C-alpha cells in the first residue's frame, strides 16, 4: 500500500495551494494519508501563532481551509481507491469543492496539534460527499460535511487560474 500523502499526487495546482501545497512557503502544507486498513484519512497539523483567531485559538477560516484541503484530497484519493488505481495512474482524477457545511463546536486551541479525520460517505454521479472531524487532544472542536465534484483536467486548471490570467 502507498503511504505517501495524497497531496504528493494532486496536480496541476496542488503544489501551490495555500492549504496543502508543498511549494507554497506561506501555506499550511498539510499532509493527508489513509489510516492503515481503513477508509478514513488522517492529517495532523500544528497551527502557528499567526493562525490565531483569538488569543489562544485557531481562526475559524483557517480551520475551514485545512478541512477543505484535507477533505478535497480524501475525495480524490477515494475515487482512485474505488477504481482500484494508484493515485499516480492515468487518467488523472480532479475535483473541485462544491460546498461545505461547517459546525464549530468549540474553540480549537492554537498550542496543540490539530487532528483531522475524513471519511468518504457516498459517491453520487460526479459528486463525492466527505465527513470531516477536527480534534484537539481528545476533544472534537469542529465537524464538517463537504461535497466535491469530479471535473475534467481542463476544468480543474481553469478554476485554478486567477481572473487576471483568464
Q: Model confidence over 95-152: pLDDT tens digits?
A: 999 999 999 999 999 999 999 999 999 999 999 999 999 999 999 999 999 999 999 8
Question: Which residues partner with 95 through β-bridges?
Answer: 150
DSSP character string of 70-116 = HHHHHHHHHHHHHTT--TTSSSP-EEEEEEEEEEE-SPPBSSS-EEE
Question: pLDDT for 13-57, tens place per residue?
Answer: 568 889 998 889 999 999 999 999 999 999 999 999 999 998 899
pLDDT, tens digit, 9 for 90 and up, residues 47-105: 999 999 988 999 999 999 999 999 999 999 999 999 999 998 999 999 999 999 999 99
Residues 6+ apart with CB under 8 A from 140: 105, 133, 134
Q: Is 146 exposed, middle or buried (0-12, 13-18, 19+ CB in 10 A)?
A: buried
Cβ atoms 71, 130 nearer than 8 A: yes
Is residue 1's pLDDT more than 90? no
Rg, the chain, Cα only = 15
User: How far from each other are the two terminal CA atoms of the chain, in whole angstroms?
Assistant: 40
Tell me how far apart the alpha carbons of residues 70 and 112 are, in angstroms, rounded to a whole number.
18
Q: What's residue 164's pLDDT? A: 35
pLDDT for residue 54: 87
Mean pLDDT (whole number) for 160-164: 42
| Contact assessment for residue 29 and residue 70, using Cβ atoms and an 8 Å cutoff | no
pLDDT tens, 2-12? 678 999 888 65
Integer Cα distance of 110 and 38 in angstroms:
29
What local confidence, expressed as pLDDT, does residue 14 receive?
62
Backbone angle region of 29, left / alpha / beta, with phi > 0 → left and psi within -120 to 50 → alpha: left
CATH of 6-159, one of 3.40.50.1580, 1.10.287.130, 3.40.50.11810, 3.10.129.10: 3.10.129.10
Phi, psi of 24 (to 5 degrees): -100, 100
Q: Given this model, what pLDDT does residue 3 score?
A: 76
State the pLDDT at residue 9: 85
Amino acid at each position: 500500500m502507498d503511504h505517501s500523502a495524497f497531496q504528493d499526487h494532486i496536480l496541476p495546482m496542488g503544489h501551490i495551494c495555500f492549504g496543502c501545497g508543498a511549494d507554497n512557503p506561506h501555506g499550511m502544507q498539510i499532509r493527508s494519508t489513509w489510516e492503515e486498513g481503513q477508509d478514513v484519512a488522517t492529517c495532523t497539523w500544528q497551527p502557528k501563532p499567526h493562525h490565531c483567531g483569538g488569543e489562544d485559538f485557531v481562526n475559524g477560516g483557517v480551520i475551514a481551509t485545512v478541512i477543505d484541503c484535507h477533505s478535497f484530497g480524501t475525495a480524490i484519493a477515494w475515487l482512485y481507491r474505488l477504481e482500484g488505481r494508484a493515485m499516480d495512474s492515468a487518467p488523472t482524477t480532479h475535483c473541485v469543492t462544491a460546498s461545505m457545511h461547517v459546525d464549530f463546536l468549540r474553540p480549537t486551541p492554537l498550542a496543540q496539534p490539530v487532528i483531522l479525520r475524513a471519511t468518504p460517505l457516498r459517491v453520487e454521479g460526479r459528486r463525492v460527499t466527505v465527513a470531516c472531524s477536527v480534534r484537539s487532544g481528545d476533544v472534537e472542536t469542529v465537524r464538517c460535511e463537504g461535497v466535491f465534484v469530479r471535473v475534467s483536467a481542463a476544468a480543474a486548471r481553469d478554476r485554478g487560474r486567477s481572473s487576471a490570467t483568464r
